[in-house]
Amino acid sequence: MLKGLFLRACVLLEAAGGFVWQEQMGKIVVTALLSMVPTFEGRYAIPIMLGTGLPVGFAYVLAVVCSTLPMPFILLLLRRVLDWFYTLPIKPVRKFAAWLEKRSERKRAQMQAGEGSGLRGKLRGKLSEETLELIGLYIFVALPLPGTGCWTGSAIATLFEMPRGKSALAILLGNMTACAIMTAGALGVFSIF
């Protein structure tokens, strides 16, 4: 059923704008794969997609979907991989796993200990700690900067032991926001200012 809907949508798009899917398939595959690369992700694949002539809406949806695909695997498997690292007879791998967990524990403790007079301090009494962490995760993923994307956000959510479902939603919304910002930037919306 989905294949039929996809094919009908392709036919409609071809008729409306002259977009020939067979000619664009190589560009679509390359940019879809680029969207899944850590730190590059959909946010940086969008300008490439638009530069190759893909329609704006299609480029946005492709970037969001493809850059979100690794998220559930990271959320579900990173903890198991780290536990497996501890069982390996390779000392540097065990040290890396221990260092990563200690660092994440230290960072989370710093976040929770900091009272601050800023926005976090004002919101602390009104929102739960879990809600603040989820808002922070959303903002982290939504910033279209190198190293702040679905891969890193999923790793942070796993290492901070945040609830998977809520974290997945925060990461997805953040990814959609980052891709929207990059789409607007690629289209020159920010050149007005």
The pLDDT, as a whole number, for residue 99 is 92
HEC per residue, 83-136: HHHHHCCCHHHHHHHHHHHHHHHHHHHHHHHCCCCCHHHHHHCCCCHHHHHHHH
For the chain, 193 residues long, give each residue's pLDDT as a single digit of tens.
555 655 565 555 555 555 556 677 888 888 888 888 887 888 888 888 888 888 888 889 989 999 999 999 999 999 999 899 989 898 999 999 999 899 988 888 877 776 555 666 666 667 788 888 899 899 999 998 888 889 999 999 999 889 999 999 999 999 999 999 999 988 887 776 5
- The whole-angstrom separation of Cα 124 and Cα 115 is 8
Residue 4 lies in a domain: no
Which letter does DSSP use for residue 149 in this model? S
Residue 25 shares a structural domain with residue 85? no
- The whole-angstrom separation of Cα 50 and Cα 147 is 22
Give the count of domains, the chain. Answer: 2
Residue 42 shares a structural domain with residue 134? no
Cβ-in-10-Å burial (0-12, 13-18, 19+) of 30 comes to middle
Residue 6 lies in a domain: no
Q: Which two tokens stand for residue 21?
A: 């899917």
User: Which residues constitute the domain of residue 98?
Assistant: 70-176
Residue 126 lies in a domain: yes
Residue 109 shares a structural domain with residue 137? yes
Please work out, in degrees rounded to the nearest 5, the angle formed at the alpha carbon of residue 38 by the alpha carbons of 32 and 43: 60
pLDDT tens track for 158-193: 998 899 999 999 999 999 999 999 999 888 877 765
Residue 132 shares a structural domain with residue 61? no
Torsion sign across C-alpha atoms 150, 177, 43, 56: positive
Residue 144 shares a structural domain with residue 63? no
The pLDDT, as a whole number, for residue 120 is 61
- The whole-angstrom separation of Cα 41 and Cα 169 is 17
CA 75, distance to chain mean position in Å, is: 12
The pLDDT, as a whole number, for residue 123 is 66
In 3D space, the residue among 132, 140, 121 whose CA is nearest the CA of residue 178 turns out to be 140
Residue 108 shares a structural domain with residue 162? yes
